[in-house]
Amino acid sequence: MSLTRLHTDESGHVASAVGALPAVAGAILLGIGAANDTGWLAITGGIVAGLGLIVYDLVRHTKNDYEVYERLDRLEGKK
């Protein structure tokens, strides 16, 4: 793999976007619940948005960051 391709490679970013979808849905539900003065919908939306952010960060960390750390360890000669 060339350095140019490594710099412009977009693999792995779709997995992060999948983790962000629950957060987006939760934020929309939170907004709808707050606008309609529906407490249960706002609370549920807030919980789903919070969990979605955690899922997004977890997926991003395991998918992207671990691969970067693995490449850095190979470059430094650690195994």
39-60 helix and 13-35 helix, angle to the nearest 10 degrees: 170
Tokens of residue 76, six digits: 């430094």
Query: What's the pLDDT band for 14 if we cut at 50, 70, 90?
Result: low
Residues in CB range of 58: below 8 A, 6 or more apart: 19
The answer to whether residues 42 and 27 touch, using CB atoms and an 8 Å cutoff, is no
pLDDT digits (tens, 9 = 90+) for 33-66: 999 989 999 999 999 999 988 988 888 777 777 7
Helix boundaries (H) for 1-79: 3-8, 13-35, 39-60, 66-76
46 burial level (CB within 10 Å; 0-12, 13-18, 19+): middle
